[in-house]
Structures are given as C-alpha cells and as structure tokens.
Structure 1
Amino acid sequence: MAKLAPEMQADLAEMTTSAEAMDSLVEIDESDALARNEAIPTMEGRIERVGRFSGIPMSSSYYGTANDCLAQAVYYEAALEPEQGQRAVAQVVLNRVRHPAYPNTVCGVVYQGWNQPVCQFSFTCDGALMRKPQADLWRKSKAIARDALAGREVAEVGTSTHYHADYVVPYWAFRMGKLATIGRHIFYRFPGSPGRAASFYGNWGGREFKPQIDFARFLAKDDGVVAMAAEPEYTPGLTVTPDVTDRHAKADVGGRIDTTKTWRLTIPDPVAASASYRDTLSSQGAATAQPTGTSEQEQ
C-alpha cells in the first residue's frame, strides 16, 4: 500500500464516517450543504472493486460476534436508508477491515474510538446503543450483514472507506475521491494508491470482541445537559429539539438519548402491593384471609 499523505495520516482519527467534530463541519444550512456536496465532482473512470469478502467462515466461533457488530453499523447508521444504501454501509466496514489503515476485525473497525471523544461510527460513543433496536429493522440489518460477510458487493461503492450525510460538508470531503451517492449518504475513497483495490490486501484478524461500554457516562452527560438547559427549551415527554451536534442523517435511527422523559422505573412497596391486592379481591366479591383469632359469624 502506498502511504497516505502525512496530513491525511495525521487527521485519520478525525475523518469519521458520521461523527464530526464541530470544527470539522462547514457552517452552512442544509440547502447550501446539498449544493456544496453536489458541486464536489465524482471521480471519473472505472470504479475498482475490492472483491468478495470471505474472511470469516460461518463455522468460526467468532462469526456471530462479527455479524452482530456489522449489523449494528447497518442499523444505527442507515436503518431507514434504501436497502442498497444499507448494503453500502456494510461494505465500507468490510473495506476498512481489509485496509492497513484500520483494524483488521469487524468489531475493531465498528468500535474504533468508542472510548474517545470522537469515534469512527457515532452510535458507539453517543449513547445510541442504549436504545433497543426495532425488531423488524434489526432482522433486516442482520440479514444484510450476513450477505456482506458472504461476499455480496455494491459495485458503485467500490473501494469506499468513508461516507457522510448529505446535509453536512466535512472538511475531508474535498480531499477524498467521491464515488457515489446512495440515499442520503455520499461515499468516498482515499485519493491515489491508498484508494486503489491493490491496497486492500489485509486479512481478517481471526478474533472478534465487543468492548464493554459503560453506559452510565452517557446518563451523566445527559444530566449535565438538562441541568444547563433553559426551561422553555425542552418539554417533558417530547422528542429532544434537533441540534447541530446530532451526528446522524435524518433517516437514521440512532441519535441522542431523549433526556426529557419524566418517567422512571419504580419498584412497588410489597406491603402496599399486598393491601391493594386484597382490596381488589374484596371489591370483586372474593373471600380474603381473616385475621388470626377471629371466626366467621354463622349464617
């Protein structure tokens, strides 16, 4: 693999797929962003293909973990995107697995930077994983992940290693090679030799592990946000107001936790619950236990 340009190598950690630091976005509104992204020329010539991915046999004890990590990327990044767009996201993950600039495992790629301020896939570091996936969309994501691990390709994505939503313009979009737009995501490859198919020669690392995320840090962070928020800004029970720091496309499922909910999990008091239960039985005409030392009057 030809080496990445020094400035790109230095910025690689910040060139995230969907989690953009505030200073990495061009400050323009959505309509201007669409126009700016449209103005970035698509690369001419034949799109090279990395080839079928077949690095993880289904008999491997790590296959299920790899499939789960890949399905999470598909779900939280693009669950409501067109099916081809979901498959393209899966291909970006697997392209990175085979590129020397990134970890050589599926979970390693998906969770890269999960414990850092900026991660490569924002759902791993913004608390989105605390939300239980919708069953039907999750099943579809799992199926798409299986297809990708079995070698299914999206030709127009080619050697893409990056993408972003079309309503933002990250600084790195002007330094990469634009290949395709699918749904609301725009896909890019590295410029020059690092983005050529010959540079995707890495082999699967052989083991998959998912990190143990401390979700308490997201709750603490959200509590701080609520404490500093002005009273009129949030209405209990409603969805949080969209914010520029939300790092997901509009069609994505992931995002910030709704901290405006007022309900809390409570455990009933056993004594109160018992009395309530007896009252309910009495109101329905059922016999209840008599206190010790008493007897029923004869009819």
Structure 2
Amino acid sequence: MHPRDSTRLRQGWIATCLATMLLVGQAIAADREQEAEAAESKAAELEQEAAAEGREALSSPPEIITKPEAQAVDPVGEAPLDDAITCLARTIYWEARGEEAADMEAVANVVMNRLGHEGFPGTICEVVRQGSEQGPCQFSWWCDGRPDIAEEDDSYVIAKEIARKALNGQLLDRTGGALYFHHRQVVPSWAAEYIKTIEAGEFVFYRPPDGTAK
C-alpha cells in the first residue's frame, strides 16, 4: 500500500471515530433530556398528590421518579427555579450542604410538611419562594441576594436524590411534623412561641402549638 493511501485510511478512520463519538454524545444528551422531562412531569403529579393529602387525593397515584431521571434534571446546578425537583434540591443544598444526609433529609421534610399544610402555598417552588429576595422570606438562601447556582457537584447529587425520595413519598419524616427550623447559632424571636420537635445536627426544628402556620 502506498504511504499516501495509508494516511488517507488513518484520516478516514479518525473521521469515522469522531463522527461516531459525536452521534453517541448526541444520543446520550437526548436520553438525559428525555429523563429530565419525565422526572419533571412525574414530580409535578407527585407534588399535587403531596399537597392534596388530607384534602382531596388524586384518583390515580402518579409514577415514582427514578434516580437517573432525577439526576438528569438541572445537571449543572444552574437551571431556573421553575420545577419541583430543582426547587426542592436547591433548598436542601443551600440550607444544609456539608451536613449529614439525615440533616439534609430533615430540611426536605420541612418543605414537604409545608406543602401538605393548608397554611402554606400549594407547590414546592411557591413554598420555597414565599417572601421575597429582600425579605422577609421563609428560607435564608432565597433572600440572601447571592447567586443560587449549586457549586458543589457531590452535595447537589445528594440533594437531588433526597428530593427524589421526598417527592416519591419514600422519605421518613425525621422532624415530627416540623414546619420551621433554624440553625443552632441563630435564635429567632418566634422560637419561644413554637414547640421544639427535634434537634438534628446544626438545626433545631419546630411546629406551632396549635398546628396553625404563621
């Protein structure tokens, strides 16, 4: 074989490999997008079911969210806060990143408890965004004026897995029905009016004495 022909063959082989890699990459991206769409759709139904508990239950239980589906949502931690998984995962991440998984789960419990309580909004994003960026607000990360992009991949992966379990109804309520919590280093004025349910890690959790949200 002439050396020039050999070079052409190598170039053709490289071009074929690159084209194959591009196609594979596009297929993977398409699969992740489909998984994300499926997760967001399921999450919306699960969110409705959680909000309806004690009121009017849905006629047919929604499908649960799988782990790959949940992880496909907001893969780089910078999506807008407009779906249940992202809003819940970002809250878990910003309120409790770096804490034990059990403490992160407890934060998720508070959000889900509020979702099912008539004194709070009927969607997770509305629960999280209750208040304003300038305050007063219900969750400190939402009103601190800083960017809301999740920066630590490992912690955000854990937060999304906890959010998935919470939406699926697979998360044990560690807080005893708490609707409020604060960091140990902060003692808000409202704490004296509420009933302490548990202390977990760096957090203290509460519920109102009469079950009425304030």
Question: Do these two structures clear the TM 0.5 threshold for a shared fold by scoring above it?
Answer: yes
Asked whether the equivalents of residues 53 and 148 of structure 1 are also in contact (C-alpha less than 8 Å), the reply is no
Question: Of the candidates 97, 100, 103, which is equivalent to residue 79 of structure 1?
Answer: 97
For residues 5-154 of structure 1, the aligned pairs below 5 Å read 55=49, 57=62, 65-154=83-172
Q: Counterpart in 2 of 1:174?
A: 192
In the TM superposition, structure 1's runs of 4+ consecutive aligned residues that sit over 4 Å from their partners are: none
Deviations 1:218-265 (A, max 9, x none): xxxxxxxxxxxxxxxxxxxxxxxxxxxxxxxxxxxxxxxxxxxxxxxx
How much identity, in percent, do the aligned residues show? 37
Q: Counterpart in 1 of 2:203?
A: 185
In 1, the alpha carbon distance for the partners of 2:125 and 2:100 equals 24
- Length, aligned pairs only: 142
In 1, the alpha carbon distance for the partners of 2:153 and 2:160 equals 11
Task: Tell me which structure has the larger Cα radius of gyration.
Answer: 1
TM-score (norm 1): 0.43
Q: CA RMSD in A?
A: 2.6
Asked whether the equivalents of residues 82 and 183 of structure 1 are also in contact (C-alpha less than 8 Å), the reply is yes
TM-score (norm 2): 0.60
Higher helix share: 2
In 2, the alpha carbon distance for the partners of 1:103 and 1:77 equals 20
Asked whether the equivalents of residues 177 and 190 of structure 1 are also in contact (C-alpha less than 8 Å), the reply is yes
Tell me by how many angstroms 1:130 deviates: 4.3
Q: What 5-or-longer segments of structure 2 have no aligned partner? A: 1-45, 51-61, 74-82
Task: Indicate the structure whose relative CO is greater, using CA pairs within 8 Å and at least 6 residues apart.
Answer: 1
Secondary structure at 1:164's aligned position in 2? Answer: strand
Asked whether the equivalents of residues 156 and 179 of structure 1 are also in contact (C-alpha less than 8 Å), the reply is no
Asked whether the equivalents of residues 47 and 123 of structure 2 are also in contact (C-alpha less than 8 Å), the reply is no
Tell me by how many angstroms 1:179 deviates: 0.5
Tell me by how many angstroms 1:169 deviates: 1.1
Secondary structure at 1:128's aligned position in 2? Answer: coil
